[in-house]
Homo-oligomer: A and B are copies of this chain.
Amino acid sequence: MKSDKVSLSDIAKAAGVSTALVSYVMSGKEKEGRVGQEMANRIREIAKELNYQPNLLAKSLRNGRTNTIGLIIADISNPFFANIAREVEDESRRNGYTIIIGSSDEDADKAWDLMNVLINRQVDGFIIVSSENSGRLVEHLQNIRLPFVLLDRHFPEYNTDFVVTNNAKASHEAGSHLIQNGYRRIGFIAYKSAMFHVKERIRGYQEALQEHGIEPKATWLKEVQFNAIESEIRTAIDELVQTEEPIDAIIFSTYGLAVNGLKYLNELRLRVPEDLGVVSFGQAEVFDLYYCPISYMRQPIDVLGKKAVSMLITRLSGESGEAQHFTVDAQLIARESSRPKV
């Protein structure tokens, strides 16, 4: 068993022809290389015999594309993102691309460094689930004209391709659902962030209340720091609950918030949904572990992932038109945690 060492010139030698000819055949360009039928077959034969595997490095060096996509994820330990990553990876592979993942851990500097490492690795383009303050990153990529698609989170102030969920609408739906089921004083817990998707979720929630004639109190909205989630979510929930007019339902804007929040509700011995109705964003399967299945806004991970890949790939193949936007709706999965109040 020969190892990886078989090159074009080995085949060429074996066939008694030039490497050019072999290259034309191996890259399916026998037409434009004007290679004879017979010879083409012979070369293919020999290549198979020698188990030829093209050297991708050489290919890339020569033609300037690596067929590699850089995927920068805000937080890979979040299963929602992990599953997005997986979807992106699968879909890319299906299209002949390899992806290199990096997690920025919601840190702009780390994202920046990651981007540079990946640029150095000559990725052809990026798919980015951006973190706070990633404007610089977006600008830089635009400057050097490296194609990229923003996934799940985008910046309205930049004109970029993106694939996102309609967050305002999702939040709106979550809120309306709770109201329809009899909840009135609905809290909302989000990460403290200036990012658009966060603001949108808050907006949707507030609008839903207003449309149903409920004035969303400022104290119902809690913003907790990503880095101090464990402590701050306790304070947040305490403040929502320990007041003369405690909330009767809560919307978690994120998987991580929900996990930590629900945990704390357990500690407080607050019952869902009797004491507190719950709807969450984020990833599903795990919410089933709660004694009471958690209602959530299901984001179509597969659609998001696949669309981002296909959008990027059309860019990579030279498309240079208008920025592409793709917005998909989340779907309310209503379960026990938000069942009608009795």
By the criterion CB–CB under 8 Å, are A291 and B290 in contact?
yes
By the criterion CB–CB under 8 Å, are A101 and B82 in contact?
no
Binding site for B on A (CB under 8 A): 1, 3-4, 53-58, 60-61, 66, 76-77, 79, 82-83, 85-86, 89, 93, 98-103, 117, 119-122, 143-145, 259, 262-263, 266, 285-291
Docked CA distance A276–B105 (Å):
38
Taken together, the copies of this chain in the complex come to: 2
Task: With CB as the reference atom, state the residue of chain B lying closest to A286.
Answer: B286
By the criterion CB–CB under 8 Å, are B79 and A86 in contact?
no
User: Which chain B residues border A145 with CB–CB below 8 Å?
Assistant: 3
Given contacts A56-B120, A77-B79, A259-B286, 7 further A-B contacts (CB under 8 A): A57-B66, A76-B85, A77-B83, A79-B79, A89-B102, A89-B103, A290-B291
Q: Which of A4, A55, A120, A289 has most chain B Cβ within 10 Å?
A: A289
Selected contact of A58 from candidates B61, B99, B266, CB within 8 Å: B61
User: Which chain B residues border A263 with CB–CB below 8 Å?
Assistant: 288-289
User: Which chain B residues border A290 with CB–CB below 8 Å?
Assistant: 289-291
User: Which chain B residues border A77 with CB–CB below 8 Å?
Assistant: 79, 82-83, 86
Interface of A is mostly: helix
User: Which chain B residues border A4 with CB–CB below 8 Å?
Assistant: 119, 122, 144
Shortest Cβ distance from A82 into chain B, in angstroms?
5
Given contacts A61-B61, A98-B117, contact A289 B103 (CB under 8 A): no
Docked CA distance A98–B122 (Å):
12
Selected contact of A82 from candidates B76, B102, B122, CB within 8 Å: B76
User: Which chain B residues border A58 with CB–CB below 8 Å?
Assistant: 61
Selected contact of A289 from candidates B86, B99, B102, B286, CB within 8 Å: B286
Task: With CB as the reference atom, state the residue of chain B lying closest to A294.
Answer: B289
Docked CA distance A144–B86 (Å):
29
User: Which chain B residues border A85 with CB–CB below 8 Å?
Assistant: 76
Selected contact of A121 from candidates B82, B98, B103, B143, CB within 8 Å: B98
Docked CA distance A103–B54 (Å):
24
Docked CA distance A57–B64 (Å):
10
Task: With CB as the reference atom, state the residue of chain B lying closest to A256.
Answer: B285
Shortest Cβ distance from A208 into chain B, in angstroms?
26
> Lowest 4 A-B CB distances belong to which pairs?
A289-B289, A291-B291, A57-B61, A82-B82
User: Which chain B residues border A122 with CB–CB below 8 Å?
Assistant: 4, 55-57
Docked CA distance A285–B57 (Å):
41
User: Which chain B residues border A98 with CB–CB below 8 Å?
Assistant: 100, 117, 121
Docked CA distance A77–B89 (Å):
12
By the criterion CB–CB under 8 Å, are A86 and B76 in contact?
yes
Task: With CB as the reference atom, state the residue of chain B lying closest to A87.
Answer: B77
